[in-house]
Amino acid sequence: MAVEIATPQNAPCRADAPSPEQRLKGVLDLFPNEIGGEVTAAFTVGDKTQTCQQSTPLTFARKSFGHRRWILAALILLMGGAAFAQRGYWGRRNRSLPSDRNGVPSWEVDSRFPKDCFTFARIEYDSYGGRSRGGGGCWTDYPDSDLNFSLRLQQLTSMKVNPDPVVIRLTDDELFDYPFIYIIEPGGLVFSDAEVKALRKYCLNGGFLMVDDFWGDSQYENLRHELQRVFPDRDPFEVPLEHEIFQIVYPLKEKPQVPAINSARRGADGSVGTWEWSRDGSDTSVPHYRAITDDEDRIMVFICHNTDLGDGWEREGEDQWYFDEFSVKKAYPMGINIVTYAMTH
């Protein structure tokens, strides 16, 4: 699959950002496993069913990407000296994508089957505070992380992908149109009773929830408490590295930890600091990937704790070292593994 990459006009970029050739080479140097045979994933929630077909093999494209280039710009909003691009706010917001997609190219979806493709669906929520110290909000990293990840998934796998990610609420009727949903920064999240009921129904009927970007013991305890309301008879457990979610496309040798770009550190001795400090002072140096499964042992909730995969997607065009160390090696491989698992189970 050859992909032409559009060039945004006047896209701001740091002087040490990776060149287009370096960025593409970094991604294409990753070698996933191949999945033989045609994969058809049927997702049913209530009375709605949709399918996703993937041709064989599910692998990265290695053909020429053409001569044009693109650079993903990070949108930094300063308010009172605070940078809200990293720790978003939690109120209501316009769900529409920016008209220029912040420079991220689009592509055509087969008009005969407009809904027969993967759509990245972010969950909007209002609640904030919970039982922990901190937690950002549902808009953190939006829209660049959603746009960038959708683009990379379309470019680098045989999965059909919607170029336009969506934002929905757990209580929206269209929740059941999307087999994959994403919640970010849940450290201060509190579900309403209606959200508890909707999420339980969604997951037990085949849906998949990915939770990302929260740090420290108190933020995890807040999420665990809220998930216990959703699944009072099911507890999260640590997923071993040998589980197929870590191996299904990219055979990962370690559980990836991705810090926000402003927290990533390089030591003079070549060491790399991969964690963010927690507000409660707890140890965040070890990433945890926990899951809640259904009665068939299918993962229906996948919890990425002490890591920030979304920043690896959002900030890929800003810094060469961050891109090479975190976007290429960790954030994209783990994200593609997660979505592939979700769409094939």
* 10-residue averages of pLDDT along the chain (345 residues): 29 42 43 38 44 35 27 28 32 75 93 90 82 69 96 93 97 97 94 97 98 96 97 98 97 97 90 89 96 98 98 94 95 98 96
pTM (whole model) above 0.75: yes
Burial class (CB in 10 A: 0-12, 13-18, 19+), 303: buried
Longest dimension (CA), the chain: 58
Tokens (6 digits) for 123: 């969950």
Tell me what pLDDT residue 161 has: 97
Q: Which residue has the tokens 């140097």?
A: 29
Token pair recorded at residue 75: 């949108």
CA dist 36 and 56 (Å) reads 6
User: For the chain, which residues make up each domain, given as ranges?
Assistant: 38-344
The span from the CA of 37 to the CA of 45, in Å, is 26
CA distances from residue 123 to 86, 137, 281, 345 in whole angstroms, order as listed = 17, 10, 28, 21
Q: Which of 279, 276, 292, 315 is nearest to 211 (CA)?
A: 292
Q: What is the pLDDT of residue 96?
A: 86
Q: How far apart, in whole angstroms, are the C-alpha atoms of residue 249 and residue 20?
A: 24
Architecture of domain 38-344: 3-Layer(aba) Sandwich (3.40)
What the block records as the tokens of 151 is 């683009």
How many residues make up the chain in this entry?
345
Distance, CA of 191 to CA of 166 (rounded, Å): 20
DSSP letter assigned to residue 17: S
Which among 296, 247, 241 is positioned nearest to 35, based on CA atoms? Answer: 247
- Please give the pLDDT value at position 2: 30
Cα separation, 54 vs 191, in Å, equals 35
